[in-house]
Each structure stands twice: as structure tokens, then as C-alpha cells.
Amino acid sequence: MTNFRNGLSFATALVFAVTFSVFTSSTAHSQELNCNVQVMAPRIANVEASVFEALEDGIREFMNGRRWTNDNFNFEERIECTMQINISNAISATQFSGSIQVQSNRPVYASDYNTPMLFVIDGDFEINWVNGTAINFNTGMHRDNLSSILAYYAYMILGMDYDSFGMEAGTEYYLKAQTIVANAQNASGKGWRASEGKQNRYWLVENMLSQTFRPLRYCMYNYHRKGMDLLYSDVETARLNIGDAIVEMRSTNRIRPASYNLQVFFLAKSDEIIKIFEPAPEPERVRLLPVLKQMDPGNIAKYDGALL
């Protein structure tokens, strides 16, 4: 039986939703991620460009060469994702800081469209890395910021992807990301601790595992499995299911308005939501518009322009 992510049949996804298992044939299997990596350091003059090229190669090998789950993925079933790292400061030849932008996509059933899943811009990218050294990760300890940050986002990508195919199926991977955070509490560098603000790695995974944010996780499943994957056969029902999934997140917004996780959701989804609902009948747009404006106030003008 083929991997649940290729969308060949609803039955395959249903099996996954019940068992949280992925089965493939006994032929060759691939790693889970197909991560495109770009490391940029346009303003760094005191470090050779080849150092950042080697770092880019090392990150790509780490993300794509490691098995992150116990499930089997065929080559064409890998999760498409990108990491764009901008080095803005080189304290020394081995100590760097900057930002990392992480994005992932998910295939939509019976189409060549990939729907955006995770879109995070993390400004707390602080690492020590010696040119030519391999990146190693140990799940039981914090070795260094570079390996922990990369592994953290690998598990967040997996968690969101699995959540979109099975109700709360990503829990295992969120728990692994949370363990990375716990192991890094005494690490140098920002982003790991609750006290450092509400928009960092700590809170992104902490929120995903909290009861308050269960409507967001329900939305991830209903929006994609009962919405996007149904667009090919029943546009009206699919659109209604997507609208319902978004509306149900209001309970989270009432408790935690402007939360980091809702911001991350709409950063990935706002343009897609507009494309889906711009041609919708007026009652659907009238119902959804105030909800979007309440939960995603940064895009009010965009929603008004498209959905009024």
C-alpha cells in the first residue's frame, strides 16, 4: 500500500487517520523531507563565501539525509520545504547570527497544486559552526543551536503535515520538537525560553500542544482533508468545510487573540483563503469576512478588497 500523502485514494488517508501508520512496498524508500536550503550572507566581509556554501551543503544533507520518522516515504512523496537563512552578523569565523525562514507545502488531492502549510520567520538564529564539520543531532541532549534549530523545524514541518491528513496525527512530532526545546533551556542564544517573548520556538510548539489551540489543529485537518482535498469533486462542499474550519478557530482567538500560532497560520494561508472565497456566493463571503478581520487584523485591507 502506498504512502498516505500521495493522495491516490481517500481510503488510504482514512487508514492513516485510524492507525497513524504509513505502509509502502518493500522496494526502495526515501527520507521524509525534500528541503531546499539557501544560506545568504551578503553583508559579511570577514568570512570567506565558501564557508557559507559549505554550511548550506551541510544543512541540506542534514535535513534530507536523515530519517525523521519510522514511516516509509517513496521518493516522490517527500515533503517539499525550504529553509532560507540570512546571516547578518559574523562575530567570528565560527559564530554567526541572523534569521531563518521556514516554509513547507502539502500536495492537494487530484491536482498539481501544493497548499502552503508552515511559514515561519525566526529572527533568533544564533549558531556556532566550524567549517567542514558534520551537523549531528542527538534527541536526548542539546549538542548545539544549529542542529537543535534544524531538527526542531523538521519536526514542526512533520507535525503540521501529519495533522492535515489525520486528526491530531502530528502530536508525536510536536512532542519531539517540545523535547528539543526542553533540552535547550540552558543553551546560549534566544528562541528557546518562555520568558523571551510570545513569538518564538518555545511558544510555537507549546501552543500547538495546548488545549486552547485544539481548534487550530482541528482546522488543519478539516481545512485540508475535508476542504482542499475535496475541491476537485465538490467545490461548494469543500469551500463550506474550509469556511467552517476557519470559523471554528474563533474560540482560540477569544482566549488568545493575536497569538503567534494564528499569525503563523494566516501568514501561510491568507492569500489562499482569498483565492478560494473571492468567487464564492455573497452569503459565504459575508459570513467569513468579519471572522478573518478579527483573527488576522494585519490583512484587513486585503480581505476587504477581495471579499467585500
DSSP result, 231-272: TTT-HHHHHHHHHHHHHTTHHHHHHSTT-HHHHHHHHHHHHH
| Cα gap 149→146, rounded to integer Å | 5
- Percent pLDDT > 70 in the chain is 91
- Domain ranges within the chain, ordered by starting residue: 1-209, 216-308
Overall average pLDDT of the 174-188 stretch: 97
Tell how strand 114-128 and strand 33-40 pair up. Answer: unpaired
> Which grid cell is 283?
452569503
Residue 199 predicted with pLDDT over 80? yes
One-letter identity of residue 122: D
60 HSE (CA, 13 A, CB side): 11
Q: Could you give the strand order of the β-sheet that contains 95-107, starting from the edge strand earlier in sequence?
A: 33-40, 79-90, 95-107, 114-128
Widest CA span in the chain? 59
At 229-245, the pLDDT tens digits run 999 999 999 999 999 99
Q: Give the pLDDT score at 211.
A: 97
The answer to whether 259 and 215 have CB atoms below 8 angstroms apart is no
pLDDT at 30: 75
User: How much is the average pLDDT of 104-113?
Assistant: 97
Calculate the alpha carbon distances from 299 to 123, 266, 303 in Å: 22, 9, 6
How much is the pTM?
0.92
Q: What is the pLDDT of residues 31-77, one digit of tens each?
A: 999 999 999 999 999 999 999 999 999 999 999 999 999 999 999 99
Going by pLDDT thresholds of 50, 70 and 90, the confidence category of residue 113 is: very high
Query: Collapsing DSSP states into helix, strand and coil, what is residue 94?
Result: coil
The SS3 assignment for 47 reads coil
Mean pLDDT calculated for residue range 123-130? 98
CA 308, CA 304: separation in Å to the nearest integer? 5
Cβ-proximal residues to 261 (8 Å cutoff; 6+ apart), any chain = 203, 204, 207, 208, 213, 216
What is the three-class DSSP state of 114? Answer: strand
CA torsion 192-194-196-202 (nearest 10°) is 40
Q: Is the Cβ–Cβ distance between 95 and 51 less than 8 Å?
A: no
Q: Is the pLDDT of residue 12 over 70?
A: no
Output Rg (C-alpha) for the chain, integer angstroms: 20
